[in-house]
Amino acid sequence: FFSGVMEKLGLGPEVLLEENPRLIYARLTGFGQTGKYAKSAGHDINYLALSGVLSKLGRKGENPYAPLNLLADFAGGGVLCAMGIIIALYERTKSGKGQIVDASMVEGTAYLSSFLWKSQNLGLWNRPRGENLLDSGAPFYETYRTSDGKYMAVGAIEPQFYEQLIKGLGLDSDKLPSQLSFSDWPKMKKMFASIFAQKTQMEWCSIFDGTDACVTPVLSFDDAASHQHNKQRGSFIKNDQEEISPRPAPLLSRTPAVPAFKRDPFIGEHTEEILLEYGFTKEEIAKLHSDKVIEFSKPKANL
């Protein structure tokens, strides 16, 4: 995630683009290639913090929290870097020239959150963290514990969906406060929580499945892979070690991805094989390994 690493190896973009002007050279770092923090270490939570997004994540009265390392590393980083490469490839079909993609996880995460920035004047985010429509403030956009210790996810934003939620909970909307009565939200959340706690997750699924109440079970990885909907679509696959992982997405109609059913390679497992294929001698590979430029999966390389 540091900038300047490739220059130290003598493989900076200027060197390689001189060799091949059509090259797309993508640089994925946390803070980007320039700026005060460009050469500073960091991780997802730091990039998330600098982007402004972390300040929006968390419940009322609690510290902001980072949702694993999904937002900055993978979404704002990996996915947007890949998008930059695709854009550059498309542009090359017109110009015939390559270019450098400077993918900063801070900027990628901020851009990913454009909706938050652009909707500030709509009243969606004008309350403190944890008190807004989509950040656990609303009783109809929340998770609730069931009697068997599992959870249901509720996302009944639109009035017609909210009405079905109320119906499924066995309540009468005429006897309840208005859906968007902010002052009543804490009381409504307690009411919904006490009702959800009276039935198991499966019982709630039998009530809400097939409705438009926007109520779904919160599934573990194992449960997600075995859920009827996901099984019908083949959304998860097993490799030859019986390990489960998501099928490549999105699904293309004419050229769908062909998933690999072999186990994931160990880090460095194919290093020697690939370098030999590209013309390196065994002596050169041994030198690279002893200099710790490359890594093997085994402590001692079979050279």
Catalytic residues: 43, 73
**DSSP string over 138-185:** STTEEEEE-TTS-EEEEE--SHHHHHHHHHHTT--GGGS--TT-GGGH
Q: How far apart are CA 101 and CA 27, in angstroms?
A: 6
Place of tokens 């050169």: 284
Helix (H) or strand (E) holding 95: helix 80-95
Pairing of strands 24-29, 99-104: parallel
Q: CA–CA distance from 190 to each of 90, 185, 194, 208 (Å)? A: 52, 9, 6, 20
- DSSP 3-state percent helix, strand, coil across the chain (nearest 5): 40, 10, 50
Q: How far apart are CA 74 and CA 77, in angstroms?
A: 5
Q: How far apart are CA 85 and CA 67, in angstroms?
A: 26
Hey, what are 219's tokens? 């599934």
